Structure 1
């Protein structure tokens, strides 16, 4: 009798009302923060923006309409103010990654998706020294291997055109390059995508399983999109593969395939150790925890997978965006190539990172690309720690509230960067007095504080030194040896966890020595 009374039509009607009303009412301190409808009531608004690949744009539009504080989920406030960056992401503030990151766990938690502070400290202690400025230079030799293969492939295609432009999608080649580099660094050998000119990688669900093959780049894209979407509602993860929308079912298969790629490559490397290599996997196998024990196989594979994800799409996305934006500004190409020609007199020589570090215009071009095309454009969500809460912009945020600072909005704010914030202008990074410092340093302190392409604080990108070296080597190789003709309009992108270009049609030919 009780159950029948409870399941009356009126009671059933009450369920969805309570489902949406309770999250809205739960955190009274943010009830007055404006929100696009129906974001204050349900996670589905943000999930839908992610499903459409436009989260960063939707959040930016909301800030333009409502101001620096916007409620984008019932318990999540986006703060478009640079003063929030050291509070939300800085050292010693106690903020933790939110449950959003649970959606990115596959083999087991790695450095990227670990939420526990002590576990993250343990992992970071193991991994961080590998990417130190002192040690990262040992990886340059492996980057050179893939750059030589890229040049061989492009030289062959350019020669076949007898001086005319060779038509290609540059994004594909930057993807092949980035995957081969990180394959060499993280797993002991390139994937072979540059040589094959296509997207393919071996997959094993377990170390002893029969291998299959999958398009790794496509798999990574799908994985980023579906995980970034499910992260808005992590409770959906166990059921996502059963949803009728193929975006979710195909995405969850991609998660499995990506883990299988890591399993296959780690298995192959451990079965054939190379004592002379000093790559990432070698360093991870040498690592020991506080008790002196090596990393278990599953943890080793999870960390290698983290490096595959972090070191592939990020590099190819940025390289592609950099080429596009440079080609829209012919004077940028001319200035960059003049600087590279002086630093690398012989066109057949591969650039050396030591020779590139003093190049101020090269550095400015890379920084401006990271600003205008933030690889991760969304606001990385963090949870207010236990205690009294914190106050920002005259608003109190209780413990458990999720806060984020949107990178895209920070990097495109006219209040921070000026009226030309939306323009690609590398010169903004140059010291107007030309004091000869090695790095570009023309921006203000406020602009430097708002520039967060690698995030900041204890959860900042641990591979920043490697990323900066790899980007400099790629850009120097590409612009020193080749010239390009842009053959498309705007650079279209789609957002998963990262903001991914959809293609870049160009003509390419060799420069004269």
Structure 2
């Protein structure tokens, strides 16, 4: 009984009295900024609860409409202006990645979650050759192969009248097949089967099938609730894994993704050790430019494959879904894009070559406008100010404060993007388009900007151009709107579209 009383006293102190005392003392003077909700200044539970609401970034945006700086946690501030983007994410920023990256990374940090700038620079040098445009263009045939397989499936489905398909599902299967081939020279066959089930052999030697999307999303779904409380993330995670319910179920399913990464990576390494010459992403991790072996641990290799097969499939699938969603919702834009494609691609095969679409201005404008309205990573990417503090957007922010700019809000700044809720690809054309780029952070910005942006643009340009030329799409109902779940990324839950061969 005495021990239970001590435990209760301890919990009250840790979760109520201590944070309330810190809030009232206000050593960093953060109380001068408005809170996102009533809990934000006292505990990270406020932001964690927002995650349960389904669309955290939209909720934060509503607060940002009246306040350029919002307190989203006891030690966390969200900003909304172009000046803040440069200060927080620019090449010369003193900020480092926030604590959530360190606590959520595995024993081998990858290029995404490495906090130390020197470690990140080393990884970027290691991988930059693989992501160079000239190498990606050599892998174009892998993307073309997957586009052809998707088109064959759409052709087959279109043999029935008034067909409705889940465009979100099929484009996600496309990105799974594409990124695994680009990364590991491995053919999953998801498009041919119409599902995301991947046969593997687990570390325990058991043959099983893993849902690529299901296992990836399960782990993210659980971690995205807890990680905002970085001090308590790992102990909370350890405890909740043992308690029946939502978190244990999600973490249990999420283990399949790690097993899949381990299996696919080691299978690729076995092919390398057997002397098989393969040209893919992993070749640049295992070998230098002269094809001499690198001194790299298998754990580090698995860490980089993990993030590539995660971000390289999920973010591009989200972008492809939104690109078509906004085109279908705006028939005038769809028609104008089709005119551009018909004019530029006369007589070409079903799948259009990258060289013929990479410089089409309206096609690129359509993609950028959908990324503006619905960026895959809508939430702010956390950074931490240096110990000495810094000026951000005219305010002195003390050292070791978590700061961020949510892309969802930055992309809706009416001073930069007039009529921000309107889908207007034309804003990206002409002389004024250059001024938009500083506030366009769909791929983050600065030295930590997304290293894979060339891959996603290549996939989007080829696939969207091919589909718009070959098929007619329509919403199942003129009033239908996409629904979302936001974990770390902004997931469209599904996207049922009517599709038929172009008349």
| Paired position in structure 1 for 2:474 | 485
Distance 1:411 1:137 in 2: 30
Report the CA distance between 1:393 and its aligned residue.
3.3
Report the CA distance between 1:9 and its aligned residue.
8.8
* Distance change >3 Å, CA 403–CA 10, structure 1 → 2: closer
TM-score by length of 1: 0.90
Please point out which of 219, 223, 229 is paired with 1:223. 219
Distance 2:13 2:444 in 1: 42
Distance 2:390 2:244 in 1: 40
Count residues in correspondence: 491
| Paired position in structure 2 for 1:463 | 452
Please point out which of 482, 486, 503 is paired with 1:495. 486
Tell me which moved more, 32-41 or 44-53: 44-53
Distance 2:283 2:9 in 1: 63
| Paired position in structure 1 for 2:134 | 134
Over 4 Å off, 4+ runs: 6-16
Report the CA distance between 1:107 and its aligned residue.
6.1
Report the CA distance between 1:386 and its aligned residue.
2.4
Report the CA distance between 1:201 and its aligned residue.
1.5
SS of 1:100 mapped into structure 2: helix
Residue 430 in structure 1 maps to residue 429 in structure 2:
yes
Matches within 5 A, 1:84-233: 84-106=84-106, 108-158=108-158, 160-161=159-160, 164-206=161-203, 209-233=205-229
Report the CA distance between 1:271 and its aligned residue.
2.2
* Distance change >3 Å, CA 8–CA 152, structure 1 → 2: closer
* Distance change >3 Å, CA 95–CA 288, structure 1 → 2: farther
Distance 1:113 1:397 in 2: 24
SS of 1:71 mapped into structure 2: strand
1:302-343, Cα deviation, whole Å (9 max, x unpaired): 101110011101111111111111111111111111111222
* Distance change >3 Å, CA 48–CA 115, structure 1 → 2: same
Distance 2:453 2:11 in 1: 52
Distance 2:497 2:207 in 1: 36
Distance 2:362 2:329 in 1: 17
Unaligned runs of 5+ in 2: none
Tell me which moved more, 10-19 or 493-502: 10-19
* Distance change >3 Å, CA 394–CA 203, structure 1 → 2: same
SS of 1:125 mapped into structure 2: helix
| Paired position in structure 1 for 2:299 | 298
| Paired position in structure 2 for 1:382 | 383
Distance 1:192 1:397 in 2: 51
Residue 69 in structure 1 maps to residue 69 in structure 2:
yes
Distance 2:176 2:130 in 1: 19
Report the CA distance between 1:288 and its aligned residue.
8.7
Q: Is the 8 A contact 1:182 1:190 kept in 2?
A: no
Distance 1:442 1:62 in 2: 28
Matches within 5 A, 1:37-52: 37-52=38-53
Report the CA distance between 1:73 and its aligned residue.
0.5
Distance 1:425 1:245 in 2: 47
Q: Is the 8 A contact 2:185 2:279 kept in 1?
A: no
Distance 1:350 1:210 in 2: 40
Report the CA distance between 1:495 and its aligned residue.
0.7
SS of 1:478 mapped into structure 2: helix
Unaligned runs of 5+ in 1: 432-440
* Distance change >3 Å, CA 335–CA 356, structure 1 → 2: same
1:97-143, Cα deviation, whole Å (9 max, x unpaired): 11111354246311111111221111111012211223221121111
* Distance change >3 Å, CA 258–CA 14, structure 1 → 2: closer
SS of 2:186 mapped into structure 1: coil
Matches within 5 A, 1:274-313: 275-287=276-288, 293-313=294-314
SS of 1:251 mapped into structure 2: helix
Q: Is the 8 A contact 1:78 1:405 kept in 2?
A: yes
Report the CA distance between 1:251 and its aligned residue.
2.7
Q: Is the 8 A contact 2:129 2:284 kept in 1?
A: no
Q: Is the 8 A contact 2:126 2:284 kept in 1?
A: no
Residue 269 in structure 1 maps to residue 268 in structure 2:
yes
Residue 443 in structure 1 maps to residue 440 in structure 2:
no
Report the CA distance between 1:7 and its aligned residue.
5.0
Q: Is the 8 A contact 1:386 1:399 kept in 2?
A: yes
| Paired position in structure 1 for 2:358 | 357
Q: Is the 8 A contact 1:142 1:184 kept in 2?
A: yes
| Paired position in structure 2 for 1:476 | 465
1:447-500, Cα deviation, whole Å (9 max, x unpaired): 221111100111110111111111101111111111112114011111111101
TM-score by length of 2: 0.92
